[in-house]
Amino acid sequence: MGQFEVSLDDLKDQKVLKKWFKLGEAEGRKGDVAGHVCLHVQWRHDPAIAFEPFSEDTSQKTPNELRIGLFKARDLVIADKNLLSKGGSSDPRVKMSIAGTAWTAASKVIKKSLEPVWKETFVVPLPHIDLEDWAKPVLSLADEDWDEISSADAMGTVDIPLAPDRAITREWYTLAQNEKGLPKEVSGEVNVVLQWRYNARLDYCPFDGFVDEHEGELLCGNQASRRWCEASEV
């Protein structure tokens, strides 16, 4: 019957656009076209879908803290299927761990959703980690269907390589089967925000420029590669 286009340049400043648009020929189709369509359009900020958990790190010192922002997931697999009809839902939560550390965490459970929104942040202090020698640091996420009575069912996992820089990254990560081949059917993606940053509260080194007399090595200082200084060694 016809089509029309709306220029996004007309939607600046979040003003409401109210306009009659004349219908034209659809691409690849020819024929008589007539009529107009009245459209109301507006760009707006929706806080429910906004998630900017971190600010820029302007420090030049070596990062010693990883921040994780778990935003949302989409198109998750149905874990709790309806008994008398098609479809169903899930009660998803995400468990997290980092290879080479004892750190683990878990998100809250979102009941009956295949498009859960968590908006949760997690902080991982890593003051003793030598980032240059840390072989292939990986953040593992395991999405699972929570159950109040029985154990949780796997919904998919993803391993995220960690690049220790200060850039704030936001990515959709595709879920896959875990090492046991579960779940048999897997789908969906998880949106995660990551940032390495320097946290001065984790950097306790009271003797600036202290030199180990036995090793002749600078243990504390302002160098980017400074080692952690234990007070008990002094």
pLDDT 10s digits, 209-228: 444 444 444 444 433 333 43
What is the domain partition of the chain in residue ranges? 8-41, 61-200, 204-234
Q: What is the pLDDT of residue 215?
A: 46
> In which band, very low, low, confident or very high, does the pLDDT at 234 lie, cut at 50, 70 and 90?
very low
The residues, any chain, with a CB within 8 Å of residue 159's CB and separated by 6 or more, are: 138, 139, 140, 141
Tens-place pLDDT, residues 172-198: 999 999 999 989 999 999 999 999 998
Q: What is the pLDDT of residue 58?
A: 87
| Residue carrying structure tokens 């504390």 | 220
CATH topology of domain 61-200: Immunoglobulin-like (2.60.40)
Average pLDDT, whole number, for the chain? 82
Give me the percent of the chain exceeding a pLDDT of 90.
42
Q: What is the pLDDT of residue 134?
A: 67
Exposed/middle/buried for 121, CB within 10 Å: 0-12, 13-18, 19+? Answer: middle
Tens-place pLDDT, residues 101-128: 899 999 999 999 999 999 999 999 987 6
In sequence order, the β-bridge partners of residue 124 are 66
Q: What is the pLDDT of residue 109?
A: 97
DSSP symbol at 28:
T
Q: What is the pLDDT of residue 106?
A: 97
Q: Which two tokens stand for residue 178?
A: 């875990």
Is the pLDDT score of 136 beyond 90? Answer: no
Is the pLDDT score of 1 beyond 60? Answer: yes
Q: Which two tokens stand for residue 221?
A: 């200082």
Q: What is the pLDDT of residue 218?
A: 40
Displacement of CA 118 from its chain's centroid (Å): 10
Tens-place pLDDT, residues 33-80: 888 889 888 888 777 778 999 998 888 888 889 999 999 999 999 988
Q: What is the pLDDT of residue 226?
A: 39
Is the pLDDT score of 144 beyond 90? Answer: yes
Q: What is the pLDDT of residue 164?
A: 75
Question: In 3-state terms, what secondary structure has residue 2?
Answer: coil
Among 177, 199, 203, 196, smallest CA distance to 188 is for 177
Q: Which two tokens stand for residue 232?
A: 């008990």
The residues, any chain, with a CB within 8 Å of residue 179's CB and separated by 6 or more, are: none
Is the pLDDT score of 130 beyond 90? Answer: no
